[in-house]
Amino acid sequence: MGDERLGFDDITPDSALENDIPYRQLNRLAELEAYNKHHYRPTNYQHKWWARRLGSVFRTLNIAALSAPDTTAEELWEKVTDTCDFEDAVVFDPFMGGGTTGQEATRVGAKFVGSDLNPVAWFITRMGLAPQTSLLETYFRRVMNRSRDEIRPYYRTRCPSCGDAVGAQFYLWVTLEGDGDRNTRAYDTLVVDHDRNGGATVVCPACHGISEVDDPEAACCGECERSFDATEEDVRVPVDAPNAVFNGGERPAYEPYAVKYHCKDCGESGFREFGEFDVDRLEAARERYEELRGSLPIPEQEIPEGGEKTRDLHNRNYTEWTQLFNSRQLLALGTLLDNITEVDDELARHYLTLTFSATLEFNNMFCSYKGADPRGPGAVRHLFSHHAYVHPGEPLENNPIGTKGRQSGTFRYLYEYRLKKALDYQHTPVERVLNDDGTVEEKKPIVGEEIGGRPADSVSELLDGDRTHFLHCGDSADLPFADELAGGVDAVITDPPYYDSVQYGELADFFYVWQKQSLERDFPEIFSRDSVVSDAEAVGNRTREKSLDDYRELLQNVFESSFDLLKEDGPLAFTFHHKQPEAWGAVLEAIDGAGFRVVNTYPVRGENRLSVHIKGQRAVLLDSVIVCRKDHKKPEGDWGDIRGTIEEVARERIRTFHGSDDDDLSRLDASVVAYGACTTEYSKYETVTDDEDDEVSERDAMEIIQPLIDELNEAEF
- Do 508 and 556 fall within a single domain? yes
φ, ψ of residue 367 to 5 degrees: the values are: -85, 160
CA 364 from chain centre, in angstroms, equals 18
C-alpha span between 393 and 643 (Å, rounded): 51
The candidate with the shortest Cα–Cα distance to 685, out of 615, 636, 633, is: 636
Q: Which helix (H) or strand (E) holds 629?
A: strand 622-630
pLDDT on residue 613: 40
Please classify residue 379 by burial: count the beta carbons closer than 10 Å to its beta carbon, then call 0-12 exposed, 13-18 middle and 19+ buried: middle
pLDDT on residue 543: 87
- Do 184 and 271 fall within a single domain? yes
Q: Which helix (H) or strand (E) holds 203?
A: strand 200-203
pLDDT on residue 3: 38
- Do 155 and 87 fall within a single domain? no
φ, ψ of residue 42 to 5 degrees: the values are: -55, -35
In a domain, 488, yes or no: yes
Rg (CA), the chain: 27
DSSP 684: T
The set of residues, in sequence order, having a beta carbon less than 8 Å from that of 355 and lying 6+ positions away, is 46, 411, 414, 415, 418, 419
Q: When comparing pLDDT for 180 and 437, which is higher? A: 437
The confidence band for 559, taking pLDDT boundaries of 50, 70 and 90, is very high
Please tell me the total count of domains within the chain. 2
pLDDT on residue 616: 44
Q: Which amino acid is at 495?
A: D
C-alpha span between 360 and 362 (Å, rounded): 5
- Do 482 and 597 fall within a single domain? yes
659 to each of 27, 44, 74, 662, 716, how far by Cα in Å?
A: 15, 33, 21, 9, 9
Domain boundary at 354, 378, 409, which? Answer: 409
C-alpha span between 549 and 590 (Å, rounded): 10
In a domain, 687, yes or no: no
What digits encode the pLDDT tens for the residues 364-401?
999 999 876 666 545 799 999 888 999 899 999 999 99
C-alpha span between 212 and 194 (Å, rounded): 9
pLDDT on residue 244: 73
What digits encode the pLDDT tens for the residues 37-51?
899 999 999 999 999
613 to each of 286, 400, 511, how far by Cα in Å?
A: 34, 24, 19
What is the pLDDT averaged over residues 406-421? 94
What is the pLDDT averaged over residues 522-549? 94
pLDDT on residue 371: 78
Please classify residue 651 by burial: count the beta carbons closer than 10 Å to its beta carbon, then call 0-12 exposed, 13-18 middle and 19+ buried: middle
C-alpha span between 427 and 432 (Å, rounded): 17
What digits encode the pLDDT tens for the residues 309-343?
999 999 999 999 999 999 999 999 999 999 999 99
What digits encode the pLDDT tens for the residues 125-143?
999 999 999 999 999 999 9
pLDDT on residue 620: 63
DSSP assignments along 401-423, one per residue? T-SSTT-TT-HHHHIIIIIHHHH
Angle at 103 between CA 101 and CA 105, to 5 degrees: 65
C-alpha span between 606 and 576 (Å, rounded): 9
What is the pLDDT averaged over residues 441-456? 97
Whether the predicted pLDDT of 174 surpasses 60: yes
* Percentage of the chain exceeding pLDDT 90: 75
Please classify residue 617 by burial: count the beta carbons closer than 10 Å to its beta carbon, then call 0-12 exposed, 13-18 middle and 19+ buried: exposed
The candidate with the shortest Cα–Cα distance to 259, out of 269, 250, 267, is: 269
The confidence band for 183, taking pLDDT boundaries of 50, 70 and 90, is confident
In a domain, 171, yes or no: yes
- Do 164 and 125 fall within a single domain? no
pLDDT on residue 664: 56
Whether the predicted pLDDT of 529 surpasses 50: yes
- pTM score, two decimals? 0.94
How many residues in the chain? 717
pLDDT on residue 7: 42
Q: When comparing pLDDT for 633 and 17, which is higher? A: 17
What digits encode the pLDDT tens for the residues 90-115?
999 999 999 999 999 999 999 999 99
Domain boundary at 598, 633, 668, which? Answer: 633
φ, ψ of residue 224 to 5 degrees: the values are: -110, -5
**For the chain, what is the mean pLDDT?**
91
Contacts 24+ apart (CB under 8 A), 38-43: 38/418, 38/421, 40/432, 41/100, 41/103, 41/425, 42/418, 42/421, 42/422, 42/424, 42/425, 43/103, 43/128, 43/422, 43/425, 43/426, 43/451
What digits encode the pLDDT tens for the residues 278-299?
999 999 999 999 999 999 999 9
C-alpha span between 649 and 630 (Å, rounded): 23
In a domain, 5, yes or no: no
- Do 431 and 348 fall within a single domain? no
pLDDT on residue 285: 98
C-alpha span between 577 and 623 (Å, rounded): 5
pLDDT on residue 5: 38
- Could you tell me which residues are beta bridge partners of residue 261? 168, 270
Note whether 539 and 556 are within 8 A (CB): no
Whether the predicted pLDDT of 59 surpasses 50: yes
The whole domain housing 252 covers: 151-188+234-409
The candidate with the shortest Cα–Cα distance to 336, out of 355, 321, 361, 323, is: 355
Domain boundary at 579, 601, 633, which? Answer: 633
Coil vs helix vs strand at 232: coil
pLDDT on residue 377: 47
- Do 86 and 180 fall within a single domain? no
The candidate with the shortest Cα–Cα distance to 111, out of 474, 463, 427, 453, is: 463
Secondary structure percentages of the chain, helix, strand, coil, to 5: 40, 20, 45
Whether the predicted pLDDT of 402 surpasses 60: yes
Q: Which amino acid is at 261?
A: Y
Note whether 220 and 209 are within 8 A (CB): no
E-assigned strand segments in 117-154: none
Q: 27-31, 116-120, 440-444, 506-510 — which is least confidently predicted?
A: 27-31
* Percentage of the chain exceeding pLDDT 70: 93
The set of residues, in sequence order, having a beta carbon less than 8 Å from that of 405 and lying 6+ positions away, is 412, 413, 416
pLDDT on residue 614: 38
C-alpha span between 623 and 629 (Å, rounded): 19
In a domain, 675, yes or no: no
Note whether 235 and 189 are within 8 A (CB): yes
The set of residues, in sequence order, having a beta carbon less than 8 Å from that of 256 and lying 6+ positions away, is 171, 172, 173, 174, 243, 244, 274, 278, 282, 397
pLDDT on residue 533: 96
The candidate with the shortest Cα–Cα distance to 173, out of 246, 77, 235, 231, is: 246
Q: When comparing pLDDT for 451 and 702, which is higher? A: 451
C-alpha span between 76 and 20 (Å, rounded): 9
In a domain, 333, yes or no: yes
- Do 478 and 356 fall within a single domain? no
Note whether 387 and 51 are within 8 A (CB): yes
Torsion of CA 549, 555, 560, 566, to 10 degrees: -160
Q: 8-12, 69-73, 245-249, 704-708 — which is least confidently predicted?
A: 8-12
- Do 397 and 507 fall within a single domain? no
CATH number at residue 486: 3.40.50.150
- Do 398 and 427 fall within a single domain? no
φ, ψ of residue 406 to 5 degrees: the values are: -105, 35
What digits encode the pLDDT tens for the residues 458-491?
999 999 999 999 999 999 999 999 999 999 999 9
What digits encode the pLDDT tens for the residues 604-663?
887 655 444 434 445 567 889 999 999 988 899 999 999 888 888 877 877 776 666 555
C-alpha span between 262 and 369 (Å, rounded): 17
Q: 353-357, 378-382, 701-705 — which is least confidently predicted?
A: 378-382
The confidence band for 669, taking pLDDT boundaries of 50, 70 and 90, is confident
Q: Which amino acid is at 610?
A: L
Note whether 188 and 233 are within 8 A (CB): yes
Coil vs helix vs strand at 637: strand
- Do 346 and 426 fall within a single domain? no
C-alpha span between 425 and 412 (Å, rounded): 19
- Do 460 and 371 fall within a single domain? no
The set of residues, in sequence order, having a beta carbon less than 8 Å from that of 160 and lying 6+ positions away, is 268, 272
pLDDT on residue 386: 86
In a domain, 217, yes or no: no
pLDDT on residue 344: 97
pLDDT on residue 4: 38
pLDDT on residue 484: 97
pLDDT on residue 270: 92
Q: Which helix (H) or strand (E) holds 630?
A: strand 622-630
In a domain, 538, yes or no: yes
